[in-house]
């Protein structure tokens, strides 16, 4: 299954974001620390590179991600030109308090106090942009919800006496090129549920965790994962949690939702779904597959 999700309002959101970026000094791109590259919208990169705007990449939900993997991502991202990356939790005021200073350092020409520092917050749906806005402004200015695409329009606010900050709607891109990216986004609840099949998403997550974090599954669900694949894990969770349908069969949909929510809540511990190395391997495999694929026959009319 290939997962795609691009609600209609996101086309106009992209156009408006492009206009606003022309008047922006620093872009904050909020990412999910568990999937820093999969949650990075390539359109945001294109827009800011076209305008030559520096970027503060905020790896939010760092408290849910594997700390060792997050350190590897910070090292990787901080080697990129015009980028500063920081890992934090937007729910922690102390973490968020660092953000204005980091933005100021990326725009030294706005350091003389004569002109406002103009900051723009961008990112895909449900990565924590609204939580960051509310924390920075120390009041509720943006609606926060556990569903993607809560924010639908731009809002600009004063951030102290020498800066403004603009919140933008969560913005996806028209086509997710890699199937694994679509599944990781779905696992982290960045894609609307109407675009996914929960059982397939849960099987993807279970397969990945069997490979990288089997002990977390064993500890949480008291199951022996040694001989299980993704399907077997979901079935084992259904048995352990009493997820049954009428007649005694396993309710795999209910078990899948329990499993996915456990991951999203951090009940499985600190887990990252991709690393710089796994990302590189995935991209190399995609290139190799594209090279090996036979060309489609020409249309002879």
**pLDDT value for 299:** 54
Identify the pLDDT of residue 152. Answer: 58
pLDDT at 84: 98
Please, is 255 exposed, middle or buried when counting C-beta atoms within 10 Å of its C-beta (0-12, 13-18, 19+)? buried
Averaged pLDDT for residues 215-244: 96
Across the strands, what pairs with 166?
A: 120, 156
Quick: pLDDT tens for 193-208.
Answer: 777 899 999 999 999 9
DSSP 81: T
Quote the pLDDT of residue 149. 46
pLDDT at 159 (0 to 100): 92
d(CA 118, CA 116): 6
Instruction: Tell me which of 188 and 161 has the higher pLDDT.
Output: 188
How much is the CA Rg of the chain, to the nearest whole Å?
Answer: 21
The backbone torsions φ and ψ at residue 108, rounded to the nearest 5 degrees and listed phi first, read: -60, -20
Mean pLDDT for 214-225 is: 96
pLDDT in tens, 6-28: 555 566 777 888 889 999 999 99
Residue 151 has pLDDT above 90, yes or no: no
CB 169 within 8 A of CB 13: yes
Inter-residue long-range contacts of 21-24, CB under 8 Å, 24+ positions, other chains counted? 21/47, 21/48, 21/51, 21/53, 21/120, 22/51, 23/118, 24/51, 24/53, 24/118, 24/119, 24/120, 24/166
Pairing type for strands 155-158 and 55-60 reads unpaired
**Which H or E element spans position 46?**
helix 42-51
- Name the one residue in this structure whose structure tokens are 């048995």: 239
Copy the structure tokens of residue 152: 């639908």
For residues 43-57, give the mean pLDDT. 94
Stronger pLDDT, 4 or 288, i.e. the higher one: 288
Tell the CATH topology of 11-167.
Answer: Rossmann fold (3.40.50)
List the strands of the sheet with 26-32, edge to edge.
Answer: 83-87, 55-60, 26-32, 117-123, 163-167, 155-158
Paired strand residues for 163: 117
> Could you give the CA distance from residue 109 to residue 286 in angstroms, rounded to a whole number?
41
Residue 159 and residue 100 in contact, taking contact as beta carbons nearer than 8 Å: yes
pLDDT given at position 110:
80
User: Taking the domains of the chain in order of start, what are their residue ranges?
Assistant: 11-167, 197-278
Angle subtended by helix axes 214-221 and 230-240, to nearest 10: 20
Averaged over 32-41, what is the pLDDT? Answer: 97
Q: Please, where are the H alpha helices in 117-196?
A: 129-137, 179-187
Q: What's the CATH architecture for 197-278?
A: Orthogonal Bundle (1.10)
pLDDT higher than threshold 90 for residue 144 = no
CA separation for the pair 131, 123 (Å, rounded) = 12
Residue 269 has pLDDT above 60, yes or no: yes
pLDDT grade for 4, boundaries at 50, 70 and 90: low
User: What mean pLDDT comes out for the span 40-59?
Assistant: 94
Mean pLDDT, residues 155-171: 90
pLDDT of 5 higher than 80: no
Interaxial angle between packed helices 252-265 and 230-240, expressed in degrees from 0 to 180 and rounded to the nearest 10 = 100
Kindly state the DSSP code that residue 161 receives in the 8-state scheme.
T
Mode of pairing for the β-strands spanning 155-158 and 163-167: antiparallel
Across all residues in the chain, what is the average pLDDT?
A: 90
């Amino acid at each position: 299954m290939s997962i795609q999700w691009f609600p209609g309002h996101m086309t106009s959101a992209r156009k408006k974001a492009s206009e606003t970026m022309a008047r922006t000094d620093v872009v904050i791109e909020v990412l999910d620390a568990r999937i820093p590259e999969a949650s990075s919208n390539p359109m945001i990169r294109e827009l800011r590179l076209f305008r030559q705007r520096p970027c503060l990449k905020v790896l939010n939900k760092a408290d849910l991600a594997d700390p060792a993997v997050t350190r590897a991502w910070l090292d990787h991202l901080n080697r990129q030109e015009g980028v500063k990356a920081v890992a934090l939790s937007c729910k922690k005021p102390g973490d968020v308090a660092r953000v204005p200073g980091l933005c100021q350092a990326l725009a030294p020409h706005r350091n003389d106090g004569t002109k406002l520092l103009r900051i723009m917050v961008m990112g895909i749906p449900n990565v924590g942009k609204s939580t960051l806005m509310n924390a920075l402004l120390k009041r509720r200015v943006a609606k926060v919800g556990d569903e993607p695409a809560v924010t639908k329009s731009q809002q600009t606010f004063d951030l102290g006496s020498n800066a403004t900050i603009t919140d933008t709607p969560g913005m996806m891109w028209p086509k997710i090129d890699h199937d694994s990216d679509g599944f990781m986004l779905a696992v982290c609840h960045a894609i609307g549920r109407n675009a996914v099949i929960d059982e397939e998403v849960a099987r993807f997550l279970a397969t990945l965790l069997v490979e990288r974090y089997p002990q977390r599954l064993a500890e949480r669900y008291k199951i022996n994962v040694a001989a299980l694949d993704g399907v077997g894990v979901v079935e084992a969770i259904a048995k352990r949690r009493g997820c049954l349908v009428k007649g005694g069969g396993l309710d795999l949909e209910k078990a899948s939702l329990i499993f996915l929510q456990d991951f999203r809540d951090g009940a499985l511990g600190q887990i990252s779904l991709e690393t710089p190395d796994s990302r590189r391997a995935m991209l190399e495999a995609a290139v190799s597959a594209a090279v090996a694929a036979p060309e489609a026959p020409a249309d002879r009319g």
